[in-house]
């Protein structure tokens, strides 16, 4: 059985065989994956050692002490946090071998083609169609997706599309891996309130997806998508951060360094938010410990709710603390960033960017329903569309 001592030994072997100072970062990451030290809880041969998830920090600490290169989760977070666990859970052996290594190393960026202009909060109402070509067995996909982070950088996308309009909306969906270099894929920037275009809209015109790139059974896409969505909420709301990491860090630093800005009222509000941020951080640690025993469940929705609310309240307080300075916005450049950065740049950026936290990864309104129904066990809201064929729904 792999334990902490064994993991330290394996990590030191990796460092001796591939010295950090003389090994290209990508080559080091590939060697780390092959040694089973990427995701220690993944199967042998797929970046892991079938070890407990709780032992991953042992490896990370050894490599951090050696100043080993990382794979920059901010840039490939969609692949790491959403695509990888879905491929692991539903992919064929060939799909796992093909996609997981370049995904983890960062050679291939992923994006998520889920939301649509008419199916955001009600994702199951999506209208993008995938029709089987009887001659080749491929799927021909047509439709539009929206709010797609990193689509302008992505090599692959996780995609859900409607394959059967004659059944209720949750049952006629199939899950695919889409090649973003296909000539039928068009990516257009969506300029955000921050001035940049981190998001995109994606148009799919006769995109041909081989059946070998289907994840799960035909018509079972909603079930597969739940794995993605549950992992997404944990990835956004439950990321591992140090004390005073995330949004609370910059305002705490400003408070210490600039006593002239302090007032009693702001002090009390900052203390309250600091405590709430620390409670959320520790709750996230507990949630990750629970994940050792299985897959993430609806509890991730609660973490993501808390993440969004705290980010918005903290960034608002920071702008108020800075007074006139808080109204400044130093960089309104139209650009397409190569990573998702919730806390970067100045206070004005953080305030504006946090407005999206209650939308991305599931709106706060939808997540409140998930917590109420699946965590607290409250009665579900009345729905009159669950047993109606998708084609007969009003749109």
Which tokens hold the place of 115? Answer: 């939301």
Distances (CA, A) of 178 to 20, 118, 129, 299, 314: 35, 21, 13, 29, 38
Three-state DSSP class for 348? helix
**Cβ atoms of residues 107 and 26 within 8 Å:** yes
Q: How far apart are CA 48 and CA 43, in angstroms?
A: 5
Distinct helix (H) and strand (E) counts, the chain? 12, 8
**Cβ atoms of residues 176 and 126 within 8 Å:** no
Q: Is position 232 annotated as part of the catalytic site?
A: yes
Q: How far apart are CA 60 and CA 38, in angstroms?
A: 9
CB-based contacts of 376: which residues, under 8 Å, 6+ apart? none
Q: How far apart are CA 226 and CA 224, in angstroms?
A: 5
Which tokens hold the place of 76? Answer: 């490939």
CB-based contacts of 62: which residues, under 8 Å, 6+ apart? 7, 8, 11, 12, 15
Catalytic residue among 232, 299, 318, 360: 232
Q: Which residues are designated catalytic?
A: 232
């Amino acid at each position: 059985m792999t334990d902490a001592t064994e993991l330290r030994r394996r990590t030191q072997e990796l460092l001796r065989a591939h010295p950090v100072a003389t090994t290209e970062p990508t080559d080091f990451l590939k060697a780390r994956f092959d040694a089973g030290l990427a995701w220690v809880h993944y199967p042998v041969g797929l970046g892991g050692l079938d070890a407990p998830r709780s032992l991953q920090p042992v490896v990370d600490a050894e490599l951090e002490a050696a100043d080993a290169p990382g794979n920059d989760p901010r840039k490939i977070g969609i692949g790491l946090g959403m695509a990888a666990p879905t491929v692991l859970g539903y992919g064929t052996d060939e799909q796992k071998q093909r996609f997981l290594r370049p995904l983890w190393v960062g050679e291939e960026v992923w994006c998520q083609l889920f939301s649509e202009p008419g199916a955001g909060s009600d994702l199951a109402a999506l209208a993008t169609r995938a029709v089987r070509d009887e001659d080749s067995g491929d799927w021909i996909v047509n439709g539009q997706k929206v709010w797609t982070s990193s689509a302008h950088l992505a090599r692959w996308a996780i995609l859900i599309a409607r394959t059967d309009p004659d059944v209720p909306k949750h049952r006629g969906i199939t899950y695919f891996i889409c090649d973003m270099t296909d000539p039928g894929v068009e990516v257009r920037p969506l300029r955000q309130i921050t001035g940049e275009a981190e998001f995109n809209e994606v148009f799919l015109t006769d995109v041909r997806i081989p059946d070998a790139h289907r994840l799960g059974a035909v018509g079972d896409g909603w079930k597969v998508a739940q794995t993605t969505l549950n992992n997404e909420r944990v990835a956004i709301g439950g990321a591992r951060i140090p004390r005073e990491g995330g949004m609370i860090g910059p305002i705490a630093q400003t408070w210490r360094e600039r006593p002239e800005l302090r007032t009693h009222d702001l002090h009390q509000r900052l203390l309250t938010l600091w405590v709430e941020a620390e409670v959320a951080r520790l709750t996230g640690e507990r949630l990750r410990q629970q994940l050792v025993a299985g897959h993430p469940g609806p509890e991730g929705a609660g973490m993501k709710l808390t993440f969004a609310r705290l980010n918005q309240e903290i960034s608002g307080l920071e702008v108020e603390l800075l007074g006139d300075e808080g109204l400044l916005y130093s960089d309104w450049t139209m650009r397409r960033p190569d990573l998702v950065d919730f806390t970067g740049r100045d206070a004005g950026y953080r305030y504006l960017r946090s407005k999206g936290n209650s939308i991305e990864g599931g709106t706060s309104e939808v997540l409140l329903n998930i917590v109420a129904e699946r965590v607290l066990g409250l009665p579900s809201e009345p729905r009159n569309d669950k047993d109606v064929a998708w084609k007969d729904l009003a749109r």
